[in-house]
Structure 1
Amino acid sequence: MTTNQTFAITFLARTDRKEKEICSIYARINVNGKRSEFSVVRSIPLEAWNPTKERIDSKYKDFRKSNAYIEQVRAKITNIHRELVLKEESISAIIIKNIFFGRSDNGKTLIELFEYHNISQVNVLSPGTLKNYYTTHKYISKYLREIKKIDDIILAKINYQFITGFESYLRNYVPSDHHRPLSNNGVMKHLERLRKVTTMAIKLEWLEKDPFERFKFSFNKVDRGYLTDKELNTIKTKSFNIPRLQFVKDLFIFSCYTGLSYIDVINLTNENIIMGIDGEYWIQTIRQKTEMVVNIPLLPVALNILNNYKDHPKSIHGDQLFPSLSNQKLNSYLKEVGDICGIQKSLTFHMARHTFATTVTLSNGVPIETVSKVLGHSNLSTTMIYARVLKTKISEDMHKLKDKLNNQKDKINRCS
């Protein structure tokens, strides 16, 4: 248990939406900046509440009884916190609230579950993946407050109706900032994360029944963006006078010829370059996302880019093959690269991985099993997403077939 926790109890008024002169008094528990609230006294005149003293004055007929109850609540919450400290047990605003209302461990809540998941998985999930769970947690909290009109909900009450209600909320959610509304697949991703969290609750014996048992996920098939051979060559042969754009272009092309994701490229060090069984240089690394070992023969284009950066001061200082650059800035600069090169598609760094799978390897006859190994996929079905049959490849294969049939015809004619 952390000994330097912050803990506070405050009482505040919340006005009625219809009658602004009427309010209810809420107890707010705050532990380490995270809070939980519940109502203590309902429907009193707003003018009767003294926010400085956190008491009700004589303008309310039952002020003595209500003030006594407020102090009893304060004392009980304080005692609960003191007991948890002495027992060196986990402390949070949600836990204190649960104990206040007499909930046992079987009465754990959804927000408490999310907090437990996010803390316990810090060293298990990648920062990017964990960030997605924080976002789902945020949407759950919004849904509870805006639709359910509550701060939290007991896990036992999470059922099919709750899930479909949350799905409907996500589909109709209108962001107040510059972000776009959620797509169908975005909604499904949030529901997938909710399911993983509730599955953890079942394993922890906090939840008895799977609330997703009757729910059917429905993802839309998405054609992953990639560069054609012509588009790839346009970027590859373009030189930039601006160093940051030249670097971003080189990093992008390197990924197009290795299939590595952004984080795996940035994490490359000299130790990842080995001599392969063929006497050529290979990349040997572990994919951060899947922890799969990948072995990638270095194609000439990728090897030339590596050689260009081997003496870069930032690379030498950090023992990395490439200078570090955030994914956000990288993708922002890629948009400039795409505009200058006249590429109509919206360039992202992940498009390089798709380009490697489609244009560089599969379109040139590399077996899908080999591509799967190089990409570091745990199963072949994942690689099948990239197995597009391009029109140019169809044309090329059919021309080969025509030539083969014509040769067979000529051979038959000579024999006859």
Structure 2
Amino acid sequence: MLEKSLGLFFFLKKPKNEKGNARFVYLKITVDGESKDVATKRKWDNRKWNSAKGCPIGTNQESATLAAYLNTLTTSVYKARTALLNADKPITADALKAALTGQEEERHTIIGAFKQHNEQMKALIGTEFAKSTLTRYKTAHDHTQNFIRWKYGKEDLELKELNYEFVSQFDYWLKTERKCKKNAALKYIGNLKKIVLECMKKGWIKGDPFANFKGKRSEVVRVALTREELQALTEKAFEIERLDHVRDIFLFSCYTGLAYVDVYRLRRHNIVDGFDGSKWIMTARQKTESPTRLPLLPAALAIIERYANDERCVAKGLVLPVLSNQKMNSYLKEIADQSGIKKNLTFHIARHTFATTVTLSNGVPIETVSKMLGHKSLKHTQHYAKIVDRKISEDMHALQAKLQSSLQPTNV
């Protein structure tokens, strides 16, 4: 840290309504032209004060006692300056005054900032954030605190202790101790980064500890149902009614592209007459708050009509009687087994199916699909285009093999 100029000078200040000669003794601390006055909590007769030198006049016991006290304060200021230098903290008049008067600088910690963020997020559940988002940040909080215990043997660390070493070791700990996959580890690091960036904006931390950390996500292969699997699921007759309900709700998502939480929140007033005279869904994605406007395909309309008189739907104004996500996914595994579908069927596969099998594979422009999915960026939709390209490639290779086989010359 660069050396800074430091000036100390004692002076007298007249109290309000003081008519005699008694004055308060103050210390002026000046660092690079910036000054702060510190009360010494001592009074002195202005007739016994050397204004030029800033010290008491005389050699009697009273003068010697005050002079000794002022020397002690001077020594304390220089000690505070050394402490700031050793701690690599900025030397300012404010910082020296705080050290001299015993006013501790407010400490900002990693876990403290995390807790504050999560408490504020909790208050905004249902308006700005989904409950699942808070759950993810709570998990990220727990991982961060457990890492600090593992690495540093402490419950918390000050934000100023965050650096590249912390971030890179956190990434290592998540992958080794917590057995997180690469993308999951990066997700938790991203949660921490969001909070740290907020702290930077508040001036609690200088410099970005994530600046040199380069984590690249692995590409996730998105699974979707084929046309044949979608047809098999549609035509399958189940003996248990609840499986029929879950299958219908899954298929509704396949033909609308709505995520589980958006189907769960869908109300009858979200189904409106469009400008073209057909029925449209008008809503917003809970995850991104992006508006979703899409015309309903006949298959989706038929499912809505099937539950038009459902007691729960009528009572609550729901479009469909959606169960909890956990139950839905549990029943979907049972449905997949009975339908001969070998894929690990989860509700999110329905959204992938809409993007690929239902829309892109049938020539719907990617820009239109992106709007219907409620994506804020076309980049997110392009992942689905890769699935379609892969399917085209597989089909063409299969065709090529058939053609080569059929064109083989026969031996005469």
Alignment TM-score, normalising by the size of structure 2: 0.68
Letter aligned with residue 105 of structure 2 = S
Corresponding residue number in structure 2 for 1:87: none
Whether the 8 Å contact between 1:294 and 1:375 is mirrored in structure 2 is: yes
Q: CA deviation at 1:230?
A: 0.8
Cα distance change of structure 1 residues 368 and 194 upon mapping to structure 2, 3 Å threshold: same
Q: CA deviation at 1:104?
A: 2.3
Whether the 8 Å contact between 1:245 and 1:337 is mirrored in structure 2 is: yes
Q: CA deviation at 1:378?
A: 0.7
Whether the 8 Å contact between 1:111 and 1:141 is mirrored in structure 2 is: yes
Distance (Å, rounded) in 2 between the aligned partners of 1:102 and 1:348? 56
Q: CA deviation at 1:147?
A: 2.3
Distance (Å, rounded) in 1 between the aligned partners of 2:203 and 2:291? 34
Query: Which residue of the other structure, out of 148, 166, 170, is the alignment partner of 1:144?
Result: 148
3-state secondary structure, aligned to 1:366: coil
Task: Please list the CA deviations of residues 194-220 of structure 1 after superposition, one character each: whole Å capped at 9, or x if unmatched.
Answer: 110101111122112111011112100
Corresponding residue number in structure 2 for 1:125: 129
Distance (Å, rounded) in 2 between the aligned partners of 1:125 and 1:272? 20
Distance (Å, rounded) in 2 between the aligned partners of 1:288 and 1:125? 7
Task: Please list the CA deviations of residues 185-244 of structure 1 after superposition, one character each: whole Å capped at 9, or x if unmatched.
Answer: 000101111110101111122112111011112100111111111111111111212121
Distance (Å, rounded) in 2 between the aligned partners of 1:392 and 1:225? 11
Distance (Å, rounded) in 1 between the aligned partners of 2:233 and 2:105? 61
Corresponding residue number in structure 2 for 1:112: 112
Task: Please list the CA deviations of residues 159-185 of structure 1 after superposition, one character each: whole Å capped at 9, or x if unmatched.
Answer: 0001111111101124xxxxxx31110
Corresponding residue number in structure 2 for 1:296: 294
Cα distance change of structure 1 residues 186 and 392 upon mapping to structure 2, 3 Å threshold: closer
Distance (Å, rounded) in 1 between the aligned partners of 2:103 and 2:196? 23
Distance (Å, rounded) in 1 between the aligned partners of 2:348 and 2:388? 20
3-state secondary structure, aligned to 1:121: helix
Corresponding residue number in structure 2 for 1:353: 351
Q: CA deviation at 1:394?
A: 5.8
Distance (Å, rounded) in 1 between the aligned partners of 2:338 and 2:298? 25
Unaligned runs of 5+ in 1: 1-100, 175-180, 399-416
Count matched residues: 291
Task: Please list the CA deviations of residues 54-74 of structure 1 after superposition, one character each: whole Å capped at 9, or x if unmatched.
Answer: xxxxxxxxxxxxxxxxxxxxx
Aligned-pair Cα RMSD in Å: 1.8
Distance (Å, rounded) in 2 between the aligned partners of 1:205 and 1:145? 26
Query: Which residue of the other structure, out of 225, 228, 243, is the alignment partner of 1:227?
Result: 225
Unaligned runs of 5+ in 2: 1-101, 398-412
Cα distance change of structure 1 residues 319 and 389 upon mapping to structure 2, 3 Å threshold: closer
3-state secondary structure, aligned to 2:204: coil
Letter aligned with residue 263 of structure 2 = V
Q: CA deviation at 1:103?
A: 5.1
Q: CA deviation at 1:324?
A: 3.6
Corresponding residue number in structure 1 for 2:340: 342
Task: Please list the CA deviations of residues 240-292 of structure 1 after superposition, one character each: whole Å capped at 9, or x if unmatched.
Answer: 12121111100000000000000111111111111112111111111111111
Letter aligned with residue 134 of structure 1 = K
Task: Please list the CA deviations of residues 109-166 of structure 1 after superposition, one character each: whole Å capped at 9, or x if unmatched.
Answer: 0010001111122213221111100001001111111221111000000100011111
Letter aligned with residue 164 of structure 1 = S
3-state secondary structure, aligned to 1:282: strand
- Output aligned runs, 1:129-278, within 5 Å: 129-174=133-178, 181-278=179-276
Alignment TM-score, normalising by the size of structure 1: 0.67
Whether the 8 Å contact between 1:296 and 1:374 is mirrored in structure 2 is: yes
